[in-house]
Structure 1
Amino acid sequence: MPSEPTIRGDCDALDEPKSGFNNDDVSHLIYEPLNPAVDEIRLLTLHPVSETDSTLSAPFPMLPLLQKLRPSILLNDVNFHVTPSLAFILSALRLDNQTRVLWIDALCINQSDVQERSQQVALMRKIYSCCRQDIAWLGELPDNDPESKPASNNRYRCRPQRLSVKEGMEFMNQLTQKNPETLKSLRDKFNSLFPGEDHSRFEHVPDLLLSRNDQEKLSALFRGPSFWERLWIVQELSMAPRVVLMCEGAELNWDALSTLFQDEPYFDAFHTTDHHGGYRYFSSIFLKVKLVEDQRQLSTSALPTRHESSLLDVLGRFRDLQSTDPRDKIYGLLGLVTQDHGIVVHYSKPLRDLYKEATLSIINLSKNLDIICQNPFEREGGPLVLRQDENAAQAPEMFPSWHRV
């Protein structure tokens, strides 16, 4: 692959709802075959509301995938189903007077072509690394979108969301930019609750108090959105040279979060109303963000031999994240692995065969049987995803379950 991916600009999108069709029936009208020999990809041109035709230009931003199909857009003059969330995001990202060029896996990859999907997934590390920026949409989603409903395994999203993602993003910007008025307010809150006390371990760094309302703002941003539960976000957030978290009316640069995590004196100055010191609170609120940031530091390190991302480490680190296809618990993370793992992406491969392939790869790379003898992924009764399979009796019991239950 060349230093920049070969680009085929044959994917245009306009709003034009229509129903009564299936994407598989029209995909051949939209997508021309890609040439895998030169690592071709497609880009999407998002037209302004008033414009009906345009040309393509690079460099390009990126946008995460959102699945289930309902509304439709006009894609290369053909109506094409998208999720309510993706339709909402495309509308929000539209510019007033000019086109916008994006790479969106749900649209730029022919999802009906298993072979193309397998080949394009294998290219994602290069695609993300070559983009200008990654746009991570965390804003509120349409009420009719299944993605916007609380997940039963997320106790924070089961509660009504009192504050918006926008409020959380604005507050986080104030903290990362060390806004004087905001810091004075937090300092005054601390002095009011703990008069005459000083708990800061660092000189010239005053204690700051996060009120219940402040904590709710951060929860709205870092706990509320189902975005943080999706496995597919990891590779793009880790590999893109620039990442912007975005919602309607606000955005937050990932570099600001990275700087915050490295500023120990400033981080240590925060307290909550529950107890002195905000370490426990910040550890929980930023857990998934910090996992991605750690991987981002590993993936962008100039010393890859000293900062290796092994297959086992990557699969273990992000095991709790969710994917629609259980194969993506492995395929969606391979781009982060620095080892020569030998796993070939192919979505027609039976799940049990993929589990076996991943396990054997780890054994060959580690030159031991720890993944079997001391299996950190073992669960009572074996992998649930395999036990639910109609051929569960044929499932290899010794192999770990990479699919979170």
Structure 2
Amino acid sequence: MAFNHEGQTLNSNQLRLLRPIFNANKRVLAFQISQILRDSAPLYTAVSYTWGEGQPSEVILLNGKPFHVSVTLWSCLYYLCLSAQTSRWTHLWVDAICINQNSIPEKSAQVRFMDETYRKAACVSVWLGLAPGAEQYRSTTSEPIKTFDVEPFEWMDHMSDLVNRPYWTRFWVIQEFLLGKDVDIYCSGSQVNWIDFKDFVEYETNSDVFGDADRLRAGNAIADSCAALPFVLGRHPDKHPEVFRPLHELLVEYHRSKAKDPRDRVFALLGLIPHEERALLQRFFPDYSLSEEHMAIIALAHVLCFDFMNGSERPVTVDSDELFRGLGIEQSVLRRRLLKSAKYIDYIGCDGIPMFLAQMEQVDFNENIGMDRDLEAEYSTTSSTTRHTMVMLIVTLFGIGAWIYWRFR
């Protein structure tokens, strides 16, 4: 009988962890999986990797029962288990295994605490994949996949490849890499700390990463040729671990990143947003019952609200390419419709998804009867003093509540 999570309710103050079970046959990956209170969790590593495409085809054992994982994850777990006995952690946290992916309520609840999961880990283990030239295949029998590495493997010799691996292009790994206390990076059986990796990046780009941070952030040929550069810059000692930035800035900076689920383009950034701003967003996010379009409307309404409050000089229009690409929206017609809806809803006064959906029904009704107001003009000409006062009051209240929560939880 295969392992499944059914009947195992996971509360918000809990997480599941994996403890490797060592045996003579290292090709059989076995783990004990258990639910543990977050505040009393043993030392664990939070694994950061790209899910990849295709259905799970490889088998591991959870509490003695088979469980299917992807080829990518199998290879990652194989090499992490090889290093486990000499590591500073005893357990692993892996999202594809430790969160019931078939339960929307559990998935939404655990994603809300994803930043905490990575912050409290003894370290984050980044899996870049197999070494260049390594072969990987499945036998025609029921045996697990096998990997053959090219030896010796030298990081410096392969940096042009490693700094542009698919890992650096995904939304979820942004906060996973930035929020960890420490980060170890794996390629096959070789491991380096992120500090050493930074030195390798500097050698590859012929730059002083932290010394040239502002110039590199501005975007140039160096930045364009090194997908890992924004991640290394994000751990600048003057900024880390307080890496909080507004949603608008994050969407623009990482607009080239990809997500299998478009909703994760925002959900995956929540842990990097300032507490008072995040408090407003968490009235709605993360919730995987929301449609992709509704997620985009709420995100746009949020950006409009904060840009207005902060007196931003960059208006959000259908031509705001980097912002809309950050949300995964390319078509001008769709951009116009979503932006119009975002300006229509009462974002500050909306106290959750039910009220938001009710407002969206009114938007749909107005469109069906042909009402076409110039909402952009209406938004900008409404009494700015009244609107600014209202926004500041609400944000201040949310900020106080967020501070109390983070201070005394």
Show the counterpart of 2:68: 81
Aligned to 2:277: 340
Report the counterpart of residue 291 of structure 1 in structure 2.
230
1:141-290 map, 5 Å: 142-143=136-137, 170-172=154-156, 217-223=158-164, 225-258=165-198, 267=207, 282-286=222-226, 288-290=227-229
Task: Name the amino acid aligned to 1:45.
Answer: R
Distance 1:93 1:245 in 2: 11
- Within the candidate set 134, 153, 156, 2:124 is matched to 134
Compared CA separation, residues 105 and 166, structure 1 to 2 (3 A): farther
Deviation at 1:218, TM superposition (A): 2.0
* 1:48, distance to aligned residue in structure 2 (A): 1.2
Deviations 1:15-35 (A, max 9, x none): xxx9xx7x8xx331xx62112
SS of 2:108's partner is helix
What is the deviation of 1:282? 4.2
1:395 positional shift = 5.6
The one-letter code matched in structure 2 to 1:321 is: S
Q: 1:361 to 1:96 in 2, by over 3 A?
A: closer
Provide the secondary structure at the position in 1 that maps to 2:228: helix
Q: How does 1:58-137 map to 2 (within 5 A)?
A: 58-65=42-49, 66=51, 68-95=55-82, 100-137=90-127
Deviations, residues 45-101 of structure 1 (Å, cap 9, x unaligned)? 121134978798721112125254222222233322110111122122224895941
Residue matched to 1:325: 261
Q: With structure 1 as the length reference, what TM-score do the two structures score?
A: 0.61
Choose the corresponding residue for 1:359, options 300, 303, 315. Answer: 300
Determine helix, strand or coil for the equivalent of 1:94. helix
**Residue of structure 2 in register with 1:34 after alignment:** 10
Gaps of 5+ in 2: 35-40, 139-148, 209-218, 343-409
Is the 2:20–2:31 contact (alpha carbons within 8 Å) kept by the matching residues of 1? no
Residue pair 1:309, 1:337 contacting (<8 A) in 2 also: yes
Q: Is the 8 A contact 1:48 1:96 kept in 2?
A: no
Asked if the contact 1:352/1:395 (under 8 Å) is kept, the reply is: no
Please tell me the residue identity of whatever aligns with 2:233: D
Counterparts in 2 of 1:260 and 1:94: CA distance versus 1, 3 Å: closer
Q: Are the structure 2 counterparts of residues 87 and 97 from structure 1 closer, same or farther at C-alpha, using a change threshold of 3 Å?
A: closer
| Deviation at residue 119 of structure 1 after TM alignment | 1.1
**1:44 shift after superposition:** 1.0
Q: Distance in 2 between matches of 1:289 and 1:301?
A: 17
The answer on 1:375 being equivalent to 2:332 is no
Structure 2 length normalisation: TM-score? Answer: 0.60
Shifted more, 344-353 versus 57-66: the winner is 57-66
Contact 2:177 2:231 in 1 (8 A): yes
Partner of 1:48: 22
Residue 126 to residue 385, structure 1, CA distance change in 2 (3 Å): farther
CA drift at 1:322: 1.4
Q: CA RMSD in A?
A: 4.0
Instruction: Describe the superposition over 1:128-157 as per-residue Cα deviations: whole angstroms up to 9, x where unpaired.
Output: 11111111111328457xxxxxxxxxxxxx
Amino acid at match of 1:320: R
Q: Gaps (5+ residues) in structure 1? A: 1-17, 145-163, 173-213, 269-278, 401-405
2:173, 2:32 → 1: CA distance?
A: 30
The change in CA–CA distance for 1:334 and 1:44 in structure 2 (over 3 A counts) is: same
- Number of residue pairs matched by the alignment: 290
Q: Is the 1:352–1:386 Cα contact (8 Å) retained in structure 2?
A: no
